């Protein structure tokens, strides 16, 4: 059984506002069950269901999403003074991970952090530099082009073929409320050029990428923790059976599926980069070649990291705490077939998992739910209430827009909004039962 140093607390940092971030709850429970004092610094901590967890010691204010590095540093120092002793600092979103990557030396006297090279977290999170890294290391990656003008954008679309994936290279810089998404499937040259012309507004370069069609068994992810010696510990590879939004979102239903080739590619990339700390990689299989192509490198825990709680109940968050407190990390005890389900995004899958579950011990071995836990029921109930309110607001908003006299005028054919509406109409009939049950 794992024995964490309970004298050392943990601080979870999340800058992006998302009250439904189940990964934060997973980290609170993972460390809290081991006896660690867990603090959460999050902008929405007051109304998030995470605040109801019995394993949460205290919540703290977090810097806003548009905060400068100086403001983030000052807030983290204030949290440290309240905690009153050095703590393991764990970012739960990209904004937090990138800020900590830049502030590592400043925070070294207040927090325990992996010895990460300065700026490396931002380089791997930048989708343009990630493509360059993959080419250097020899990791499969979709063909990626970075146009420098509207004319080059049109040429890139013709070279890649429609549809094409458009991404902002640094999505954390995209301003909220601008109507820009970090990733979008482009279906016309005009739409791609319109996005390119908004590059300055988005705060980063537009990247065009060959589209890899989704399909059963094609979406994969790899989680792990790289210890102080450079060895990947904990985590594993998994298949994404359901996602939210469909085909391009977070894992709603995932399964632990070991893949030796994927593991070897990951360890080769990690070793070449000299990366340290927790990572979450997203892959999609190229149907033409059968290769797992790396799409994203997230320098923090993935929201579904508890899928990879192994036979010793080691996960990447616990591995980080053990390593930072100089405690031994046990050998991996892989549990192939273990599943993870997010109830609000896959309610019917969650219900089926509950109905099939046997005694508590075997149920824990087979699957884990993101919100519902026998020993910590309050967050699940709080999430249910908040989610129902969220869905009700969205449904009422759609009804008002559909029948209200003040509905916005229809945009000209070919604009991004029109393409999105057309795409919704094409795919609505093909939604899964889970998506219909959780529609918002």
pLDDT tens, 352-411?
888 886 545 444 568 999 999 999 999 999 999 999 999 999 899 888 888 865 544 444
The mean predicted confidence, pLDDT, of the chain is 89
Structure tokens at 300: 């923090």
Mean pLDDT of 213-242: 95
62/65 Cα distance (integer angstroms): 9
Q: Reply yes or no on whether the pLDDT at 427 is more than 70.
A: no
Higher pLDDT, 64 or 29: 29
Mean pLDDT of 114-143: 95
Q: What is the largest CA-CA distance in the chain?
A: 66
Element (H, E) at 164: strand 164-168
Structure tokens at 277: 């700390």
The answer to whether 234 and 252 have CB atoms below 8 angstroms apart is no
The residue to which tokens 């109905």 are assigned:
355
CB atoms within 10 A of CB 390: 15
Element (H, E) at 232: strand 232-244
Q: Which of 334, 378, 338 is nearest to 55 (CA)?
A: 378
Mean pLDDT of 406-428: 39
127/133 Cα distance (integer angstroms): 10
When pLDDT is cut at 50, 70 and 90, the band that residue 423 belongs to is very low
What confidence tens digit (pLDDT) does each residue in 326-346 have? 999 998 899 999 999 999 999
Mean pLDDT of 250-277: 96
pLDDT at 414: 36
Higher pLDDT, 364 or 165: 165
pLDDT at 437: 40
420/195 Cα distance (integer angstroms): 14
The answer to whether 255 and 338 have CB atoms below 8 angstroms apart is yes
What confidence tens digit (pLDDT) does each residue in 17-42 have? 899 999 999 999 999 999 999 999 99
As a whole-number percent, the residues of the chain with pLDDT over 70 amount to: 89
322/292 Cα distance (integer angstroms): 31
Please state the pTM of the whole predicted model: 0.89
3-state secondary structure of 250: strand
User: Which 8-state DSSP code applies to residue 306?
Assistant: G
Beta-sheet pairing, 219-226 with 232-244: antiparallel
pLDDT at 358: 56
Q: Reply yes or no on whether the pLDDT at 61 is more than 70.
A: yes
35/31 Cα distance (integer angstroms): 7
124/315 Cα distance (integer angstroms): 22
Among 113-117, 187-191, 411-415, name the one with the lowest average pLDDT: 411-415
User: Which 8-state DSSP code applies to residue 163?
Assistant: S
Cα separation values, 343 from 353, 361, 435, Å: 10, 20, 11
């Amino acid at each position: 059984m794992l024995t964490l140093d309970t004298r050392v607390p943990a601080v979870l940092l999340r800058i992006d506002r998302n009250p439904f971030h189940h990964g934060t709850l997973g980290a609170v429970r993972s460390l809290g069950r081991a006896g660690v004092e867990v603090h959460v610094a999050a902008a929405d901590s007051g109304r998030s269901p995470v605040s109801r967890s019995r394993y949460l010691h205290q919540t703290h204010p977090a810097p806003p999403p548009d905060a400068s590095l100086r403001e983030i540093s000052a807030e983290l120092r204030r949290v440290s003074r309240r905690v009153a002793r050095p703590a393991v600092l764990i970012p739960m979103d990209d904004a937090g991970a990138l800020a900590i990557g830049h502030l590592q030396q400043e925070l070294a006297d207040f927090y325990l952090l992996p010895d990460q090279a300065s700026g490396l977290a931002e380089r791997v999170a930048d989708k343009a530099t990630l493509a360059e890294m993959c080419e250097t290391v020899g990791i499969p990656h979709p063909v990626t082009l970075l146009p420098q003008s509207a004319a080059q954008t049109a040429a890139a679309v013709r070279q890649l073929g429609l549809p094409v994936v458009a991404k902002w290279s640094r999505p954390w810089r995209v301003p909220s409320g601008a109507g820009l998404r970090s990733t979008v499937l482009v279906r016309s040259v005009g739409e791609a050029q319109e996005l390119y012309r908004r590059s300055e507004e988005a705060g980063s370069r537009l990247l065009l990428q060959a589209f890899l069609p989704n399909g059963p068994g094609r979406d994969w992810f790899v989680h792990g923790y790289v210890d102080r010696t450079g060895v990947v510990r904990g985590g594993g590879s998994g298949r994404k059976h359901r996602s939210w939004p469909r085909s391009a979102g977070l894992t709603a239903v995932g399964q632990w599926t070991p893949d030796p080739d994927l593991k070897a590619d990951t360890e080769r990339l990690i070793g070449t980069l000299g990366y340290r700390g927790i990572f979450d990689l997203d892959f999609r299989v190229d149907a033409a070649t059968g290769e797992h192509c790396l799409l994203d490198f997230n320098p923090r825990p993935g929201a579904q990291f508890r899928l990879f709680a192994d036979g010793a109940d080691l996960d990447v968050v616990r591995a980080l705490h053990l390593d930072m407190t100089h405690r031994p990390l046990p050998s991996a005890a892989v549990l192939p077939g273990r599943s993870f389900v997010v109830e609000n995004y896959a309610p019917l899958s969650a219900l089926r998992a509950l109905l099939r579950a046997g005694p508590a011990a075997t149920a824990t071995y087979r699957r884990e739910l993101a919100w519902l836990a026998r020993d910590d029921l309050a967050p699940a109930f709080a999430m249910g209430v908040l989610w129902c309110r969220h869905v009700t607001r969205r449904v009422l908003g759609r009804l008002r827009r559909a029948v209200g006299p003040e509905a916005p005028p229809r945009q000209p054919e070919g604009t991004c909004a029109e393409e999105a509406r057309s795409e919704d109409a094409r795919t609505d009939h093909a939604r899964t039962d889970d998506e219909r049950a959780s529609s918002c």
